[in-house]
Chain A
Amino acid sequence: MGILEVQNVNKRFGGLQALDDVNLNVEENTVHAIIGPNGAGKSTLLNCFVGRLTPDTGTVMFDGQSLIGRKPHEINQMGVSRVFQTPEIFTDLTILENVMIPSFAKRDGAFKLSPFAAVKAESAIRDHAEDMLGQVGMLEKRHMVASAMSRGDKRRLEMAMCLAQSPKLLLLDEPTAGMARADTNATIDLLKQIADSRPITFVVIEHDMHVVFSLADRISVLAQGHVIVEDHPSNIKGNPKVREAYLGDAHE
């Protein structure tokens, strides 16, 4: 029984079969990577996990509950967080506030009318947020406005925001896209450290094979909306189907 079970998911956009009978089983507390050439349907699949898209048919079960038809905020409240390809943060707010918001959401639920409480007085939330910022190495910058940060910092901030909710499942959409090699390595280290320090499951979509093979416990290869292989990383490299799928796209 995996924490995330995807069965027979289909999604069609007009004439394009974006997802074709996708099956996936993500074990708890593992790092599961989804790879595949451009247009394979990786992002579509991810969007089906978070409530942005609804599959035409099939089931997506998280922790024994169906995710189909739930809204993004409901799915998040169940313990699924998401890191975007381009960091989605609250650019106008300070870094500390950015991390406090997810903590509030975790504690107060999807909506709480508390116009007379003071953010200042929420020391538990702040301490927790500062702790998270410390873990991603951004504690000193906590009073900066988020828009003033570098792209790498923004991504680390987004990571801290997700971690602040102690999610059971963290979805990462190309966490190292557009990064220099040094930053990529730092990110790998950070993710490893996170994965080792707590019970958490990662689903990573990634193009960079270096990242995938450094992190993944299991890999699913998606091609033309279909999972062609799901296996241990060591078995993926030599798989002929994978080579075929990547043909013409091989240096990815």
Chain B
Amino acid sequence: MFGSKISDTTTLILFVIVVALIPLLAAPLGAGYPALMQFFAIFGILAIGFNILFGLTGYLSFGHAAFLGVGSYSAVWMFKLLSMNVIPALILSILIAGVFALIIGFVSLRRSGIYFSILTLAFAQMSYKLAYSVLTPITNGETGLQLALDDPRILDSARTSGQLPTPNLFGLDMNATRVVDVLGLEVQLNFGYFFSAAFLVLAFWIAMRIFRSPFGLMLKAVKTNQNRLNYTGVNTRPYTLAAFVISGMYAGLAGGLLACMDPLAGAERMVWTASGEIVLMTILGGAGTLLGPIIGATVIKFAEAKLSKFNEGVVHGWFDFLPDGLADVLTWVVAKFVGDGWHLTLGLVFMLVVTFLPGGLVEGARRIGGYLGRRGQKEDLEQLGSNVQGGKTTAAE
């Protein structure tokens, strides 16, 4: 996958296998529980979508989280009004996010560079601020939009139990989990994860097709030299707008899926730092590469879930074998970087990656691959040349 010659079909098959085995692979790392695995898949979709815009066209949107939020709100409203079936919810999520992206993109794409970034940021912040305050009748503000027992849900037959219904796919509940024992390891097989993972594979496949299509080629050309493209008879605006809308629909899908896994939509989903997190995921993994954004999303969600849980007690446990004084000192130091200090680690790792590995983790893997097997490398790089622009730091301008 990294720097070796593998056809797209093989990549896709390997990808499907890895995605299917995640519950098994993540379990020993303590990450094999439904909520986190669902995040891997959903934020993977989000990052793939963001990469179609940023990785291909180079337009850095700092407001992408707004589409995620819009998708979630749409889905929850569908659950409240129509049915707990996830299909109508997801369709509406994608559509509404697409419409939002069309409007915001149409306006924002009149500018480029940092002006574009600021415009998207401004739109997203307006959405967030309004959702938090005056739009509370629609968004339920700070608390977030939730299901209630007395929601109409006109398509579902009334449930008599005093419990809230669960989002489902024609009766298959998203939170249905089967625990199996594999060689002493508890592996949680969660339907919601496999459902999201199916969308991840679909999203990956579509992104791959886009990367390899003339449309994708035009998007890459937009990133490299928009001026030349104009004088080559190409109207770049529809291309960037199409990329923006596709990317927004990906985010809408991700937002919808988040709501399917956990039927709540909160305004914080749209705040600008959430958009920043999407950028972080993409860059960390490797912008402009196919797999990078998914890897970045997985790493960040994993770190967020695990690092923040290491409280001082846990850390002290690691150093118990050491003499008391030393253990205390080490605990004090390490605890600054985990638990409530995990943001510090995130910031540091991020600076290191941007400084030394601007192509992200994928470039790192490629470099390691380069050390391991130098033969044939040059040819591969040429082959991959057009797929790794994100990894290049010296784009002539």
Contacts and interface: CB of A to CB of B under 8 A. Distances in A.
Nearest to B58: A92
A220 interface: no
B318 interface: no
A110 B383 CA distance: 28
Contact of B246 (A91, A110, A115, A144): A115
Interface in A65-81: 71-73, 76-77, 81
B332 interface: no
B212 A145 contact: no
A88 interface: yes
B214 A143 contact: no
Interface stretch (B88-96, B222-230, B265-273): B222-230
A88 B225 contact: yes
Nearest to B379: A143
Contact of B231 (A76, A108, A117, A120): A76
B215 A93 contact: no
B10 interface: no
B230 A73 contact: yes
A119 interface: yes
A198 B212 CA distance: 33
Contacts of B236: 73
Contact of A88 (B209, B213, B231): B231
A216 interface: no
Contacts of B234: 73, 101, 105, 110-111
Given A82-B231, A93-B221, A97-B217, A115 B210 contact: yes
A157 to B, nearest CB: 11
A145 B385 contact: yes
B218 interface: yes
B99 interface: no
Given A97-B386, A116-B209, A143-B383, A102 B233 contact: yes
Contacts of B209: 115-116, 118
A210 B247 CA distance: 52
A90 B382 contact: no
Given A100-B217, A114-B213, A147-B395, A105 B233 contact: yes
Contacts of B383: 143
A89 interface: yes
A205 B232 CA distance: 19
A141 B239 CA distance: 29
B386 A92 contact: yes
A97 B233 CA distance: 16
A145 B395 CA distance: 11
B235 interface: yes
A88 B217 contact: no
Given A90-B228, A92-B220, A117-B214, A110 B382 contact: no
A128 interface: no
Given A92-B389, A93-B224, A143-B383, A111 B235 contact: yes
A84 B229 CA distance: 13
A101 B221 contact: yes
B216 interface: yes
B347 interface: no
Contacts of A181: none
B233 A94 contact: no
A227 interface: no
B230 A118 contact: no
Contacts of B238: 110-111, 113
A147 B228 CA distance: 15
Given A118-B212, A118-B213, A165 B242 contact: no
A165 B232 contact: yes
A246 interface: no
Contacts of A159: none
B87 to A, nearest CB: 23
B309 interface: no
Nearest to B390: A92
Interface string B188-229: 000000000000000000100110111111101101110111
26 contacts: A50-B231, A72-B231, A73-B231, A73-B232, A73-B233, A90-B228, A91-B396, A92-B223, A93-B220, A94-B385, A101-B234, A102-B232, A105-B234, A110-B233, A110-B235, A110-B238, A113-B238, A113-B242, A114-B213, A114-B215, A119-B212, A120-B212, A143-B382, A143-B385, A144-B382, A147-B395
Given A101-B232, A144-B382, 4 more contacts: A81-B231, A111-B235, A115-B209, A147-B395
